[in-house]
Structure 1
Amino acid sequence: MHTWRTHRGTRTAGTLLAATALLISGCSSGSSTSTASSAAEAAAALAPLPRSTPAALTPYYEQEPAWRDCGVPGFQCATLKAPLDYTEPSAGDVRLAVTRKKATGPGKRLGSLLVNPGGPGGSAIGYVQAYAGIGYPAEVRARYDIVGVDPRGVARSEPVECLDGPAMDAYTRTDITPDDTKETGTLVAAYKKFAEGCGADAPKLLRHVSTVEAARDMDIVRAALGDAKLHYVGASYGTFLGATYAGLFPDRVGRLVLDGAMDPSLSARRLNLEQTEGFDTAFTAFAKDCVRHDDCPLGGRDTGPEQVGRNLKAFFDRLDARPIPTGDADGRRLTESQATIGVIAAMYDEGAWQRLREALTAAMKESDGAGLLVLSDSYYERDADGEYSNLMFANAAVNCLDLPPAFDTPDEVTRALPAFEKASPVFGEGLAWASLNCAYWPAKATGGAQRIEAKGAAPIVVVGTTRDPATPYRWAEALSGQLSSGRLLTYEGDGHTAYGRGSACIDSAINTYLLDGTPPTDGKRCS
């Protein structure tokens, strides 16, 4: 969406409905930080795998990619295999799609640089071909082959599918702030239909799309590329994937950059609650900026952020009662849930704030919901033909496997509403109900909260942005503290992730690390 960085990002912030675990929260008080620290101390540490490769996996590690032209100038593509089930390698394979842009020179080639844009569910191939492979700093592209691998279940790697376009349209319109038992039942039915669709499409694969399995796949890809160490840049959920790799294979860690970091030691409920705070932090920054402009529809120059939030919430409530026209060819009207997603989408990058002001002005003053619907559609990756990418499907599939559900019943959500609404008066109610969808998932969670220490790994750079909406800054603090070789790099600013977003200080520190192997000083701060 903006420059060559990821356009979205958390492992739980895919959407209010499909990405329960993704929607988490942000920066908060010292007491919350203490709670997060306690959670990290309580969580077990991820154990590394044996250094030797099991004989049953040797054929996978000895693959040689058959590179071919993939129709995008300058890029090659290949397909590799990984075992569907690492505990039973003979039970079948998963096909992994890979793309690369070879190092351009000058200078000695440093190896492959794997890139993951986040999600879960974001296509690394699409990201590399559209952004990283042509937009990463020239000096980095000169020395590395830029490589993207779609994780299992994502995009070109045997994608999980759940709903067709019309059914997904209905899903995105579902009311995520139910007012009574009937509306609650409608929301639960939507979650169940979504889950049943995923289960019917890929019943076996759905049990094997965890982050641990995707990290093990990356080691097979590393070996197939001929690299002794894994060099990697991961954004948002990509930090969890990269950290998991480091925890499993600490001796194979090369130069790892984890930008917009997640804290793997937190439960799904805690993740969602803290991300809710994060979106509120970002919204407060937006509110302060909005009222400085004459075209802000949420208040004047003397309006405080709290009142701006109340004004927006009142607008959402009006949409809940009466959706407004959008001029959409399919006759879609803008609902409260779609408007909420549209606003949340703009929180990822301060560069989208003007567009959000314009969309809100049209919706609030002219009853024209087109601008907010476009923002919502872009977040869900809905194209002009009404078809959706598999982002939301893969997002839920990975999240619901990685952690036990945040909530098991609607009653549990109801009891948690005060905490979520305190975390964000504007978004809290919707994000609390969004945390229910894994309760109905057809595959039982195989993972759990855990610390990742990666003892013995080379220095790992963990990047955090102080007002990041999707991955709160304290998650970067937590992850860098857990990693035995973590180095915290801080960007004091707005938006999601930091590399390639305009800070020369951040970019220089990361480029130096990737090219020379010299990590920034732990605790370095940039603005």
Structure 2
Amino acid sequence: MDCKYAPVIESKSLAAGHALPNTSNNGMTTMRRCTLAQQLKNLLKICLLVFLIYFTHTWPNQPWHHRLPATTPPQLVNAITYPGEHIAWTPCGNIANRALECANLTVPIDQFNTNFTSTTSKVLSDQQDTFLIPLIRLRSANPTPSTRNLLLNPGGPGGSGTAFLYQRGAALAAIVGDGFHLLSFDPRGVNGSEPRASCYRHDESLRGELSQVRAKRPVEDSGELWAWTGNFVRACADAMGPRYAGYVNTPQTAADMNSILDAVGQRGLYYWGFSYGTILGQTYATLFPDRAERVIIDGVANQFDWYESLLDAEMIVDTDRVFEGFADECIRAGEEGGCALASMAGSSTGELLDLVVEGVAKLKEDPVGVYVNDTLYGVLDYWTLWYNGVFPSLYKPAAWRDLADNLAALFRGNATAAWLAYHKPAWESLGDSLKFISLNDGLSGPENWPVDRLGLLDDLLRFFNQSRFADIQLDYYFSKQAWAVRRTHNYVPERHVKTAHPLLIMSTTYDPVCPLVSAQGARRVFEGSRLVEVKGYGHCTLAVPSSCVARHVRDFLYEGNLPEKDVQCEADTNPAFAKPEEAITLVESRFFGEEEKQIWMAQQELAREAWLGPWRM
């Protein structure tokens, strides 16, 4: 497709009183003095950004919460500029003896508007026909003028890159090494970006009141869900307004990454994208192949299904296999090895699966009340446990021990632990940006779907029969059928793409939402790319600690080296049903170099705590 990149409009400093550079057609910047009003506005924005980064560390909101790595609280000081860059940064913390810095970048609402020029940038900025993109960068501990920026995207869609880097920057830096700055951002419409994609934009407090709809049982709840969804999608379109709503999509975000690269004075994209971040990475590599210099896609989604299919059938082909893997590993570990369910079933995987499925299903008819105190009580029902507990745990084998403990306690008559762990949605903080991005990208709206409820339900029931977990997407597909925002992009995935440098593609053997077959498909699309598969279960290779994977990542980023053919990596340890202290004992006995130890411990942390989800649910 003929899509021309439009340059960044304006790079805004986060510090009050710093000059704002504007880009011209040739990429040079001219400086203009901030007015007092602009200074105050910028100061408010940096305060908001620091608040979002520092206090939204609960993203993604997970049922097993851990503290963040030790950090220095963000402080507001004078802005910093670097030679060759066209953006001003404000120090906003310190992680693992590395400086953390923040900035805002203003990008055009439509990056592919070929009529956009620097002469109109002032007008467009004044009319607010722009998105404000928050950036965060963890600088190399020993930077040089040639140190490159490695862009990161945690997935979602709707995942906050600023929160991800703030939470997991230390571990990621240990794996990548000191040769890169780690740079992430909140994509347009997400978290701290402005405007934020929301269907309750004018009064977020209405969400709880207006979102009370039954959407659990595909047949029984379909009538109410159909009626409610018609109102919901209208609210989404009205809340964002026609100026912005249609431009929260992946092709625009891919072009925004060029604006980021231009702002930091870097031609080629160095990138590591997880989950939905692989859709973003594939889209970028297709649109801008000459700038795709080192692109890693990890936990790969099928971009052809994403953009061109009504139902993403491929995403669930291994979901049940991962659930079976939970049972396999439980039987193998036994009760002494950390699986509390092992003694409650027979010796076969099938018996343990039946125990879990039937035990959880009893909650459909007989939910259990849980009372902790006068401010903490509720009901554990089937849908809460299945979709907030069992399904999210498939993403991380490191969570399987806790899942087994909670299920075993429930089956013995105590539901408290399970309710405390899972009563909140696992990914509620992704917000409405998930729907805006995915539905704006794909074939959405009544013109692409059956126009009546029963016709839609017929299609969905056939799809839901393919997996025990597929009907978690019930409300998503009802929204996709009714979506009222006009599709503004014309991106079409290509079958053969030659990039500046071939891609490194990574996957686990069994991924619950981004199966290995999708990674193999991407391998065929991008010429010369190679696939590194780590043997194990879980979403993205971060779920399975493997020094083999870490070596391939470094070799690719620093030297551009790819294996001669697709390879399989062994897991260093099995994260399922293992205690964290067992990993510490192992690392002392197995690894001898200090850097090797640090990499392995970082992988252990990410396997336990990095929450790369939900891909799209």
What range describes the TM-score normalised by the shorter chain of this pair? Answer: 0.7 to 0.9
After TM superposition, the structure 1 stretch with the greater mean CA deviation from structure 2, 208-217 or 433-442, is: 433-442
Describe the shift of the 1:423–1:372 C-alpha distance in structure 2 as closer, same or farther (beyond 3 A): farther
After TM superposition, the structure 1 stretch with the greater mean CA deviation from structure 2, 449-458 or 274-283, is: 449-458
- State whether residues 215 and 475 of structure 2, in contact with CA within 8 Å, keep that contact through their aligned partners in structure 1: no
Describe the shift of the 1:494–1:169 C-alpha distance in structure 2 as closer, same or farther (beyond 3 A): farther
> Helix, strand or coil for the counterpart of 1:451?
coil
After TM superposition, the structure 1 stretch with the greater mean CA deviation from structure 2, 55-64 or 296-305, is: 55-64
User: What's the counterpart of residue 103 of structure 2?
Assistant: 78
- State whether residues 140 and 515 of structure 1, in contact with CA within 8 Å, keep that contact through their aligned partners in structure 2: no
> Helix, strand or coil for the counterpart of 2:158?
coil
- State whether residues 80 and 96 of structure 1, in contact with CA within 8 Å, keep that contact through their aligned partners in structure 2: yes
Describe the shift of the 1:277–1:109 C-alpha distance in structure 2 as closer, same or farther (beyond 3 A): same
1:440 aligned onto 2:487: no
1:142 aligned onto 2:187: no
> Helix, strand or coil for the counterpart of 1:436?
helix
Identity score, percent? 25
* In 2: Cα distance, 1:175 partner to 1:309 partner: 26
Q: 1:494 aligns with which of 496, 521, 537?
A: 537
- Note the C-alpha offset of 1:347: 0.4
Which AA in structure 1 matches 2:197?
A: V
User: What's the counterpart of residue 157 of structure 1?
Assistant: 193
User: What's the counterpart of residue 239 of structure 2?
Assistant: 201
- State whether residues 453 and 483 of structure 1, in contact with CA within 8 Å, keep that contact through their aligned partners in structure 2: yes
Q: Per-residue CA shift, 1:166-185, capped at 9, x if unaligned?
A: 745985883422443xx212
Relative to the length of structure 2, the TM-score reads: 0.69
User: What's the counterpart of residue 341 of structure 2?
Assistant: 296
Which stretches in structure 2 are left out of the alignment for 5+ residues?
Answer: 11-21, 30-85, 571-617
After TM superposition, the structure 1 stretch with the greater mean CA deviation from structure 2, 145-154 or 80-89, is: 80-89
* In 1: Cα distance, 2:343 partner to 2:234 partner: 40
Describe the shift of the 1:496–1:456 C-alpha distance in structure 2 as closer, same or farther (beyond 3 A): closer
User: What's the counterpart of residue 229 of structure 1?
Assistant: 268
* In 2: Cα distance, 1:521 partner to 1:449 partner: 30
Q: 1:211 aligns with which of 250, 253, 273?
A: 250
1:336 aligned onto 2:374: no
How do 1:104-143 residues align onto structure 2 when only pairs under 5 Å count? 104-105=141-142, 109-131=146-168, 133-138=169-174, 140-143=176-179
- Note the C-alpha offset of 1:488: 1.5
Q: Per-residue CA shift, 1:313-356, capped at 9, x if unaligned?
A: 44454333343234473644233332222211100011101111
Root mean square deviation, CA, Å: 3.2
After TM superposition, the structure 1 stretch with the greater mean CA deviation from structure 2, 311-320 or 52-61, is: 52-61
Which stretches in structure 1 are left out of the alignment for 5+ residues?
Answer: 1-46, 382-388
Q: Per-residue CA shift, 1:249-304, capped at 9, x if unaligned?
A: 11111111110111211257565322233221211111222345342189613344
Relative to the length of structure 1, the TM-score reads: 0.79
Higher relative contact order at CA 8 Å, sep ≥6: structure 1 or structure 2? 1
How do 1:57-68 residues align onto structure 2 when only pairs under 5 Å count? 59=24, 62=28, 64-68=86-90
How do 1:6-85 residues align onto structure 2 when only pairs under 5 Å count? 47=1, 49-50=3-4, 59=24, 62=28, 64-71=86-93, 74-85=99-110
After TM superposition, the structure 1 stretch with the greater mean CA deviation from structure 2, 232-241 or 315-324, is: 315-324
Q: How many correspondences in the alignment?
A: 468
> Helix, strand or coil for the counterpart of 2:304?
coil
User: What's the counterpart of residue 384 of structure 1?
Assistant: none
- State whether residues 505 and 519 of structure 2, in contact with CA within 8 Å, keep that contact through their aligned partners in structure 1: yes
- State whether residues 101 and 146 of structure 1, in contact with CA within 8 Å, keep that contact through their aligned partners in structure 2: yes
Describe the shift of the 1:118–1:376 C-alpha distance in structure 2 as closer, same or farther (beyond 3 A): farther
1:347 aligned onto 2:378: no
Which AA in structure 2 matches 1:350?
A: P
Which AA in structure 2 matches 1:325?
A: G
* In 2: Cα distance, 1:99 partner to 1:410 partner: 44
Which AA in structure 2 matches 1:256?
A: V
Which AA in structure 2 matches 1:155?
A: N
* In 2: Cα distance, 1:269 partner to 1:373 partner: 38
Which AA in structure 2 matches 1:349?
A: K
Describe the shift of the 1:277–1:402 C-alpha distance in structure 2 as closer, same or farther (beyond 3 A): same
Which AA in structure 2 matches 1:176?
A: K
Bigger Rg, which one = 2
Describe the shift of the 1:339–1:410 C-alpha distance in structure 2 as closer, same or farther (beyond 3 A): farther
Which AA in structure 2 matches 1:323?
A: P
User: What's the counterpart of residue 371 of structure 1?
Assistant: 418
* In 2: Cα distance, 1:66 partner to 1:102 partner: 14
